Amino acid sequence: MTDYDYIVVGAGPAGCALAKRLADHLPRQNILLLDAGGPNEDKAHQTFGERHWTLTVPGYNWGYKTVSQPELDSREVDYSRGKGLGGSTAINFCVYTRGPSADYDHWSALVEDPAWAWENVEKRFDRVENFHHPISEASGYVAVADDGRGKRGYGTILMLLITILTRHSLVDVGVTEIWDPGFDEFMKNAYHYHPKNNNHNSGNPIGISVCQLSACGGHRVTASGAYLASTPSNLTIMTNATVTKLVLKGKSVVGVEYSLLTEFYTSGIGPSQDLSVLGIPVVQDLPGVGKNLQDRLFLELVTVQDPGSHHRTSYIDSPSALGQARKEWTKNKSGPLSDYYLPQMIAYLKSDKIASSKEFEDLDDQTRQFMHAETKPFYEIVSQNPSPSVKAPEKYLSTAVAFPGNHGSGSIRLASLNSNDPPIIDPKFLSHPFDKRVAIESVRETLTFLKQPLMAKGSLRFAAGPDGHSDEEILVRNIDASSSDGNVSRS
């Protein structure tokens, strides 16, 4: 048995960063990083253009589903989570978003710790990010240098070498390196209806922006690629090692036994009621473990565009089609994958309709005040996504509307003592009246936006969306077709 000074369980973003920092700052200490998944080293699965399909790669995804959701017609919703080094950064859609400053200031107040306030967290973001200045075509849409992040662009080979040798910044962030000429017209049209925002990661995301990405040089940026590419000699990384139990001495953890969520519960740490149901002796009753799960839903709206449109086409719907598309891209940077190296629009929006609704007025004073914060959006939209709703050669525009899905917070708990059994995940989607109101109004406002004269230019018909604009029609579509947002827009 090998002794380690620190053991980090789980090599997702937090685990990779923590293990790397511990090893760097404590060179005389031995650090162990354990993960139940594999190393995720295959470069073929890190190509940026294939980011929407990586979650289907065997071994990369735990493949979780929620329990039956009563407010979604008893559907079990896909709850994909990354498996192996990098965690969900190995399978997400590479949208890089910090979130609004209001969130961090709210958390800071809740825990009475100024370290979580935006003015402090922003400095930490700046420290870990290596922002790549946009290509010239994007310069009118992305102005990251305005808030200080621009100092980390490479610019020249000399600056690249200096950055590699001296930087603390490890996470490459930027925009797409190939520009779609028709995207200029799309963005300028959108600005007629919502304010322009040249940097949605400034702390104030409100408005329409070009989407920033956790990608660089045509490849996704994962937490393992950022933090573990150069491994210190005192850091040991062990993959395919499922932790089954924490070894306790009294109430202190002194080691692990390994053979996901199981390590706390099977060690007797967690809500006593949940532990007792499974016959696990309670060592430490922690009622908050597995509680307060909050997530979002998204709904896809798809319009078929006229043949001359600049919008996307050719959804890739099979492994063989993906393999052929990869060959075309590798040979001459053409084919279906070329669509997915192009830029996307992202927007974070307020809503007078939501803010004046009865459901909003029924919230407690603290929540209403928080939602009214200048930088706090009610919902998000992301356009130029792939969609299976339209088949080639037709062209389409796919827009995802993402909204808070469980103001009534959910939970995760252990299903059994068998570590191979997935946990019981219950987000309680749309269980709160305010959830339903946001789901309805955010979709209705996005439909109205897409039907504005400039935005609807070239649009032939809707291929996916509600049958109409009424509350009932929009809610029915959300019930039937909305999906979990966990891997769509967070990095």
Closest by alpha carbon to 132, among 161, 155, 166, 99? 155
| pLDDT score of 309 | 77
* pLDDT class of 202 with cuts at 50, 70, 90: very high
Beta carbons of 341 and 218 less than 8 angstroms apart: yes
**pLDDT tens column, 275-317:** 888 888 888 888 888 898 989 999 999 999 988 777 766 677 7
Residue 444 has pLDDT above 90, yes or no: yes
pTM recorded for the entire structure: 0.89
Residues 491 and 489: their CA atoms lie apart, in Å, by 7
CB atoms within 10 A of CB 365: 7
- Measured torsion, CA atoms of residues 460, 462, 467, 471, in degrees rounded to the nearest 10: -110
Report d(CA 81, CA 66) in Å as an integer.
Answer: 12
- For residues 241 and 1, which has the higher predicted lDDT (pLDDT)? 241
Rounded to whole angstroms, the Cα distance separating 116 from 225 reads: 26
* Mean pLDDT of the region 197-215: 95
pLDDT value of residue 1: 65
Q: Is the pLDDT of residue 161 over 80?
A: no
The pLDDT score that the predictor gives to residue 261 is 45
Q: What is the pLDDT of residue 109?
A: 95
Q: With cut-offs at 50, 70 and 90, classify the pLDDT of residue 132.
A: confident
**Per-residue confidence (pLDDT) for residue 266, from 0 to 100:** 67
Selected residue with higher pLDDT from 408 and 46: 46
| Distance from C-alpha of 4 to C-alpha of 297, rounded to nearest angstrom | 41
Residue 188: phi and psi, rounded to 5, are -65, -35
Assign 48 a pLDDT band (cuts: 50, 70, 90): confident
Of 11-15, 49-53, 157-161, 333-337, the range with the highest mean pLDDT is 11-15
The reported pLDDT for the residue numbered 352 is: 97
SS3 185: helix
Is residue 58 pLDDT above 60, yes or no? yes
On average, the pLDDT of the chain sits at: 87
Q: How many CB atoms lie within 10 A of CB 90?
A: 27
71 φ/ψ angles, rounded to the nearest 5 degrees: -85, 0
Report the pLDDT averaged over residues 485-489. Answer: 50
Residue that wins the pLDDT comparison between 485 and 58? 58
Structure tokens at 375: 């930088």
pLDDT of residue 488: 42
Assigned token pair, 409? 């917070």
pLDDT band for position 163 (cuts 50, 70, 90): very low
Query: Is the separation of the CB atoms in 430 and 442 below 8 Å?
Result: no
pLDDT for residue 156: 40
Res. 150: pLDDT tops 50: no
Question: Rg of the Cα trace of the chain?
Answer: 23
- 113 class by beta-carbon count within 10 Å (0-12 exposed, 13-18 middle, 19+ buried): exposed
User: pLDDT above 70 covers what percent of the chain?
Assistant: 91
Q: What is the pLDDT of residue 179?
A: 86
Mean pLDDT (whole number) for 143-165 = 47
Residue 326: band (very low, low, confident or very high) from pLDDT cuts 50, 70, 90: confident
CB neighbour burial string for 202-230, b if at least 16 within 10 angstroms, e if fewer: bbbbbbbbbbbbbbbeebbbbbbbbbbee
Residue 264 confidence class, pLDDT cut points 50, 70, 90: low
CB 101 within 8 A of CB 118: yes
Q: Name the percent of the chain lying above pLDDT 90.
A: 57
Give the mean pLDDT of 430-437.
95
pLDDT band at 412 (very low <50, low <70, confident <90, very high): very high
pLDDT at 41 (0 to 100): 86
Phi and psi angles of residue 142, each rounded to the nearest 5 degrees, phi first: -125, 120
The dihedrals phi and psi of 362, each to the nearest 5 degrees, come to -80, -10
3-12, 241-250, 371-380, 434-443: least confidently modelled range: 241-250
Confidence of residue 440 (pLDDT cuts 50, 70, 90): very high
